[in-house]
Amino acid sequence: MIIFKNVSRHYKQGGRKSIALDGVSFKIQPNEFVSIVGKSGAGKSTIIRLLVGEDKPSEGRVFFGSYEVDKLKDRELPEFRRNIGVVFQDFRLLSHKTVFENIAFVLEVEGYPQKEINKIVPKVLELVGMDDKMSKFPAELSGGEKQRTAIARAMINKPEVIIADEPTGNLDPMNKWEVIKLLTKINELGSTVLLATHDKEIVNNLGQRVITLDKGKIIKDEANGRFAL
Amino acid sequence: MVTAIWRIIKYGWQGFLRNRWLSVSTIGIMILTLVVFEGLILFNHFSDVAVNEIKDKVDISVYFQSSVSEDAILNIKRSLEGFSEIEFVEYVSRDDALDIFRERHAEEETITQTLAELDENPLLASLNIKAKELDDYSSIATYLESPSLDDAVERVTFAQNELVINKLETIIDSMNAAVLLLTIFLAILAVVVTFNTISLAIFSNKEQIGIMRVVGAANKYIRGPYIVEGVIFGVIAAIISFLIYIPIINFLSPFIIRFIPGFDLSLYFSSNATLLFTYQVLMGVGLGVVSSIFAVRRYLRS
| Distance between CA atoms of residues B120 and B113, nearest Å | 14
CA distance B266 to B245: 10
Q: Does the pLDDT of residue A26 top 90, yes or no? A: yes
Dist. CA A6–CA A28, nearest whole Å: 14
Lowest mean pLDDT among A99-113, B27-41, B236-250: B27-41
Q: What is the pLDDT of residues B50-61, one digit of tens each?
A: 777 777 777 888
Taking Cα atoms as reference points, which of A100, A12, A43 lies closest to residue A217?
A: A43
**CA neighbor of B77 nearest in space, from B126, B139, B123:** B126
Contacts of residue B9, Cβ cutoff 8 Å, sequence gap at least 6: B228
Q: Which residues, including other chains, have CB under 8 Å from residue A215's CB and lie 6 or more apart?
A: A19, A22, A42, A43
A63, containing H or E segment: strand A59-64
Question: Which among B14, B215, B302 is the nearest to A153, CB-wise?
Answer: B215
Among A53, A109, A114, select the one facing B218 at the smallest CB separation: A109
pLDDT at B261 over 80: no
Q: What does the H/E/C string look like for A79-137?
A: HHHCCEEEEECCCCCCCCCCHHHHHHHHHHHCCCCHHHHHHHHHHHHHHCCCHHHCCCC
3-class secondary structure, A225: coil
- For an interface test with B, the pick among A87, A93, A94 (most B C-beta atoms closer than 10 Å) comes out as A94
Asked whether the beta carbons of residue A79 and residue B208 sit closer than 8 angstroms, the reply is: no
Q: Rounded to a whole number, what is the distance in Å from the CA of A144 to chain B's nearest CA?
A: 19
Q: How far is A42 from chain B (nearest CA, A)?
A: 22
Surface-to-core class of residue B72, CB atoms within 10 Å of its CB (0-12 exposed, 13-18 middle, 19+ buried): middle
Q: Are A86 and B214 inside 8 Å of each other by CB?
A: yes
Confidence of residue B215 (pLDDT cuts 50, 70, 90): confident
Mutation target for B interface from A56, A96, A149: give the one with most B CBs within 10 A: A96
What is the reported pTM? Answer: 0.76
Helix (H) or strand (E) holding A23: strand A16-28
CA distance A178 to chain B (A): 23
d(CA A92, CA A81): 16
Strands A33-37 and A16-28: unpaired
Query: Which residues lie below 8 Å from residue B174, measured CB to CB, with a gap of 6+?
Result: none
Q: From edge to edge, which strands make up the β-sheet containing A192-197?
A: A84-88, A161-165, A192-197, A33-37, A209-214, A217-222
**Residue B221 with chain A: CB contacts under 8 Å:** 108-109
Which residues on chain B are in Cβ contact (under 8 Å) with A110?
216
* B47 vs B28: CA distance, rounded Å: 28
How many Cα atoms occupy the beta-carbon half-sphere of A195 within 13 Å?
32
Name the closest residue on chain A to residue B19, using Cα atoms.
A96
Backbone angles phi, psi at A197, to 5 degrees: -155, 160
Average of per-residue pLDDT values in chain B:
86
The shares of helix, strand and coil residues in chain B, as percent rounded to the nearest 5, are 75, 5, 15
Residue of B nearest to A153 (CA): B215
What Rg value do the Cα atoms of chain B yield, rounded? 31
Chain B residue closest to A83 (CA)? Answer: B216
B158 pLDDT above the threshold of 90: no
Predicted confidence (pLDDT) per residue in B139-156, tens digit: 888 888 888 877 888 888
- The beta-carbon neighbor of B216 closest among A54, A78, A114 is A78
Mapped onto helix, strand or coil, the DSSP state of residue A207 is coil
Among chain B residues, the shortest Cα distance to A77 is held by B216
Q: What is the pLDDT of residues A115-128, one digit of tens each?
A: 999 999 999 999 88
Between β-strands A59-64 and A2-13, what pairing exists: parallel, antiparallel or unpaired? Answer: antiparallel
Could you write out the DSSP letters of every residue in B126-163? EEEEEESSGGGHHHHHHHHTSGGGTTTEEEETHHHHHH
Q: Which positions in chain A touch B214 (Cβ < 8 Å)?
A: 52, 54, 81, 86, 92
By Cβ distance, the residue of A52, A95, A111 closest to B214 is: A52
What would the pLDDT profile of B184-197 be if each residue is shown by its tens digit?
888 788 788 888 88
**Mean pLDDT across chain A, nearest whole number?**
91
Tens of pLDDT, residue by residue over A53-102, are 989 999 999 999 999 999 999 889 888 998 999 998 888 999 999 999 99
At residue B259, does pLDDT exceed 60?
yes
What is d(CA B231, CA B14) in angstroms, rounded to the nearest whole number? 13
pLDDT at B160: 62
Q: Which residue of A has its CA nearest to B220?
A: A109
The percentage of chain B sitting over the pLDDT mark of 90, rounded to a whole number, equals: 26
Angle between helices B2-18 and B219-259 in degrees, nearest 10: 60
* Bridge-based pairing state of the strands A192-197 and A33-37: parallel
Could you tell me the CA-to-CA distances from B37 to B188, B268, B292 in Å, in that order? Answer: 10, 17, 19
Closest by alpha carbon to A180, among A156, A199, A153? A199
Contact: A77, B207; criterion CB under 8 Å:
no
**Mean pLDDT value of segment A203-229:** 88
CA separation, residue A166 to residues A215, B105, B202, B212, B263 (Å): 18, 100, 28, 20, 72
Residues contacting B288, CB < 8 A, separation 6+ = B30, B194, B198, B229, B230, B231, B232, B233, B234, B237
Asked whether residue B239 carries a pLDDT value surpassing 70, the answer given is yes
Nearest C-alpha in A relative to B212: A94
Q: How far apart are CA B145 and CA B141, in angstroms?
A: 6
